[in-house]
Structure 1
Amino acid sequence: MGYEEKLTQPAMKLRNFMDKFPKFHNVYMIAATSCISGMMFGIDISSMSAFLSDNSYLNYFSSPNSTMQGFITASMSLGSFFGSLASSFVSEPFGRRASLLFCAFFWVVGAAIQSSSQNRAQLIIGRIISGFGVGFGSSVAPVYGSEVSPRKVRGLIGGLFQFSVTLGILIMFYICFGLSHIDGVASFRISWGLQIVPGLLLFVGVFFLPESPRWLAKQGLWDEAETVVANTQAKGNREDPDVIIEISEIKDQIMIDENVKAFTYADLFSKKYLQRTVTAVFAQIWQQLTGMNVMMYYIVYVFKMAGFTGSTMLISSSIQYILNTVTTIPALYFMDKFGRRPVLLTGAALMMAFQYAVAGLLATYSTPIENPKPSDTVRIDIQGHKSAAKGIIACCYLFVVSFACSWGVCIWVYCAEVWGDNVSRQRGASLATSANWIFNFAIAMFTPSAFKNITWKTYIIYATFCAAMFVHVFFFFPETKGKRLEEIAQIWDEKVPAWKSASYEPAVPILSDKELRSKLSVEHREEGNDFMVNSSQSDEEKERRSLEV
């Protein structure tokens, strides 16, 4: 099918304009640029959490109570929920790069509105608009990375999205910490205004990114798809065996997809895709129900219980952000070394243990605060038990390390891989990501009230969720490490038990990379021999053989 038959006029014009710019061909540079969208999410977390106890912020916005503060914090996630659902309506017809442009545009607009906020309503609107942009980026960036990167480093490239989230948290936290020493509204206005910078970097950087080769192939643009694969995997050599293998796989999958009608969200709940949909959606839901964002958004509450105040509290909180960033790096290795399932199972077990430990220590040693103010979210403290306070803080740090090494990175990679084909991937990833954001919204709303009303029991709830996700992963999450899309699809179609999926061998064997290279080498030699034989024949012999045929 030709170029004109596949692309609309607006899509063609956008592509033609963007392709006038030179392109990155290093896959790590490509991933780093697209994952600025993940950094935006991290920046938002720090830009709000650092000011929860800041007097300038509290006085200007009339000391919002726990419910109102929960909604202010959660409004970004609400916007991201709608953005992630809308992303496929841009990504499919216009390309992955177009969605990243939308991400950058809405983020910049939202940041400008936040930095100029005159009241709570304007702040909430700005956060919703920024969140709408982040929803586009969080849905598209992991998928784009998995489609551009070679299979052998797919886990690493996909994991860079979560690493960029943690890096954004860390960078913005220290910016906010420094600016918090400014007396007055300039402290938070400058912090929120600086959020415009990564948005502009992404907006400009997108023009230097190549389009996803799988998206190009779906539009019938095979020559361009092959060029992108060759440039990103073999320095432009189209004859490289890895490039030939990759293009061959894309062609096989596209031929299957061509026989499928236009794929909709409703199709995700058909008999063929229902189990995949439930798995991917719950993978994102469980990531939120680990309780990690409780630590990220509201860590100042935990340290306030322990008796830390002012700069001491913020510095103690920052240690957690450093651990989150640094320990994300090993996860990029663990996923491809040990597999997705072992990493997720280990992370769930460790997070459960540390949250039960926090709950137990708080239940034993905390005491109610006498005569709390109606606006106070924290109603207990452990200032009289320094050893218990240190134990709680240690468990919080260890919890963050457990999350960062497992569920933080692995889920974004897993949800981009688990679908098994191209036709469902973008719609499926958008739906799964929207589930992440709506639960992010719910948790951000729930947590302040939970700290206020049930105090330490909040941690028991999240610890129990960690136990439930361990069981779910063990029985229903298949292994995707190192498997081609065709293999993953066969695991679903043949209903292979999840705990046996790592050692699964397809009923119809799929050639390994080594076997494919060997086959290609033989074919090239045979073609070369045929050419030599034909060249050595006389014109009469060639004519005779032609007549015989």
Structure 2
Amino acid sequence: MYRITNIYLLAAFGTIGGALFGFDVSSMSAWIGTDQYLEYFNHPNSDLQGGITASMSAGSFAGAIAAGFVADHLGRRYALMIASVIWIIGAVIQCSAQNVAHLVAGRVVSGLSIGITSSQVCVYLAELAPARIRGRIVGIQQWAIEWGILIMYLISWGCGKGVEGPSSFRIAWGVQAVPGLVLLVALFFFPESPRWLAGQERWEEALDTLAILHGKGNRHDPVVQVEFEEVKEAARIAHEAKDVSFLALFGPGIWKRTLCGVSVQVWQQLLGGNVQMYYVIYLFQMAGMSGDTSLYSSIIQYVLFVVTTGVILPFIDRVGRRPLLIAGAIICMVLHYATAGTMAVYGHPVDQIDGNANLRWELAGAPGKAVIAMAYIFVSVYGFTWAPVAWIYASEVFPLKYRAKGVGLSAAGNWIFNFALAYFVAPAFTNIQWKTYIIFGVFCTVMTFHVFFFYPETAQRSLEEIDLMFDSDVKAWQTHKIHDRFTEQIEQHRKQSVVEEHVGDADHKESV
């Protein structure tokens, strides 16, 4: 069967799995302020709306937990195929929703799919891509999420303007099945991960896959041979270990990686980015916008999100992970505190805004425009930094044996906090108003110090170099200086392996 071999084409199709997440975000954020949605679902209050929004994250948490087991036993490619089928089923359930419970069930099913794709697409692409461009390849997943948000928002906006009654959101939710079907078909033409194949001792297939990916089919290409040696070494170490459980991720020699992988995903949520995507319409309404104006303003934000991530991806491996994470946390911290201060000083409590009793705080005029401007700056900074880097970093820090389950656990951390925040923010805007931004500002303050002291630099290092780096005693803030040292260590390991192999062959011949 024909196999797609261009790494960028593989990333383009593979990250449709990320676009599914984006579709589901906009499938809710685009409708929570519309008459069609509010009237059909009897104007859900802030607690109920938080539950509806968060239901997708609950399913994603379960899917991410299961993803590692599925991907380790069936392979990365078949795990994504299963996720595609689940996504199509979830879209059908949402499209046919008759009440809130029906809608929540559909979002939970869709969430199961997103939990698998969000954790395993980045694992799959990290294992296919060469080290020098791994960041931009894995980062394409985040870009796909953002394109999914924008495309689905525009589809929903068009349906809301052109279709009357419940059919408007049913059409939009039904369209979600299309990218899932495209991904399912494309996966039939994808190669399996060479590192997973090596883990199953399917050496010839692993070498052939590396050859078509990195050597134009030439198994003897020097780049292919170097990569194959690294894969063999990683697989040898993996086979020496026992079967991995989630508990093993917290054992000696691995817990630091688990802490980095899980916490970077948790911090991405606590930064406030995805919550901004869910409830941006609320913020704009509190800032004095209504009707089509607030919808247009939301579209501008989503466009900024797509553009900023697209701009940083070609340079993300040169800049490095640590500078982007630290700078992003500091700037977003300042923006959160400034937004809270502006809302507190110039805003005032109200009973409702445009008939929406969930919104109890309002500010208008220049302060309202300032809050909107800060929202635009925030989403741009998020798009430059934490949005793509958190997914890249989590996919890099785990060794082969632990990678699928480790990234699955990291994604589960992302989703459980996504669930908590998606549920929390709607009633927070109702009950504590501007203080909501103080909470996110504090999170950004804490994560700045955590990243600086505990996150080693992983950019432009092979996955095997990263293994050695975590096993060393080098301080996190010094790891950007030690690339040559680890290159020498890996070369020594390779030579030692070759010597041991020759000695073993000689002993075998002598015994014969």
TM exceeding 0.5:
yes
1:457 match: 435
Per the alignment, in what secondary structure is the counterpart of residue 423 of structure 1?
Answer: helix
Q: Which amino acid aligns with 1:309?
A: S
* CA distance in structure 2 between the partners assigned to 1:373 and 1:179 by the alignment: 22
Q: Which of residues 451, 454, 468 in structure 2 aligns to 1:473?
A: 451
Report what 2:403 is aligned to. Answer: 425
Instruction: Give the counterpart letter for 2:447 in structure 1.
Output: M
- The 3 A distance-change label for structure 1 pair 238 and 373 is closer
Unpaired runs of at least 5, structure 1: 1-20, 520-549
* Aligned positions of 1:214-253 closer than 5 A: 214-253=195-234
Instruction: Give the whole-Å Cα distance in 2 for the aligned partners of 1:471 and 1:319.
Output: 32
TM normalised by structure 2 equals 0.94
Which residue of structure 1 lines up, in the alignment, with residue 371 of structure 2?
A: 392
Q: What is the identity, as a one-letter code, of the residue corresponding to 1:245? A: V
Question: Greater shift after overlay, 367-376 or 138-147?
Answer: 367-376
Could you tell me which residue of structure 2 aligns to residue 438 of structure 1?
416
Which runs of 5 or more residues in structure 2 are unaligned? Answer: 496-512
Residue 295 (structure 2) aligns with: 314
Matched, 1:401 2:401: no
Q: Deviations over 1:262-312 (max 9, x none)?
A: 111110011211111111111000000001122100000011011211111
1:102 equivalent in structure 2: 82
Are 2:191 and 1:213 equivalent residues in the alignment?
no
Measured after TM superposition, the shift of residue 511 of structure 1 is 7.0
CA shift digits 1:80-117 (9 cap, x unpaired): 00001101121001100111011111110010000000
CA contact (8 A) 1:146 1:154 kept: yes
Deviations 1:398-418 (CA, angstroms, capped at 9, x unpaired): 000111000000111111111
Among candidates 253, 257, 261, match of residue 280 of structure 1: 261
Q: Aligned partners of 1:137, 1:22: CA distance in 2, in Å?
A: 23
One of 337, 340, 350 as aligned partner of 2:331: 350
Q: Which residue is 1:170 aligned to?
A: 150
Change (3 A) 1:118 1:500: same
Aligned partner of 1:333 among 301, 311, 314: 314
1:387: how far off? 1.0
Please give the TM-score of this superposition, normalised by the length of structure 1.
Answer: 0.87
Alignment of 1:44-193 (within 5 A): 44-181=24-161, 182-193=163-174
User: Counterpart of 1:461 in structure 2: which amino acid?
Assistant: I
Which of 215, 231, 239 is 1:258 aligned to? 239
Task: Establish whether residue 499 from structure 1 lines up as the match of residue 477 from structure 2.
Answer: yes
| Cα deviation digits, residues 191-235 of structure 1 (max 9, x gap) | 000001011111111101000000111111111111111111121
Using the alignment, how far apart are the partners of 1:100 and 1:222 within structure 2? 23
Q: Is the 8 A contact 2:68 2:406 kept in 1?
A: no
CA distance in 2, matches of 1:90, 1:505: 34
Aligned partner of 1:28: which letter?
Y
Match of 2:500 in 1: none
- 1:377-388 to 2 correspondences below 5 Å: 377-383=358-364, 386-388=365-367
Contact 1:64 1:375 in 2 (8 A): no
Instruction: Return the offset for 1:335.
Output: 2.2
Aligned Cα root-mean-square deviation (Å) = 1.9
DSSP-derived class of the 1:469 partner: helix
Summarize the Cα distance change of 1:508–1:186 in structure 2 as closer, same or farther, 3 Å threshold.
closer
Structure 2 Cα separation of the partners of residues 372 and 159 of structure 1:
38
Q: Deviations over 1:419-472 (max 9, x none)?
A: 2x2011111000000000000000000001110000001011101111111100
Runs of 4+ in 1 over 6 A off after TM superposition: 371-375
Aligned counterpart for 1:324 among listed residues 293, 305, 311? 305
- What number of residue pairs does the alignment pair up? 494
Percent of residue pairs identical: 44
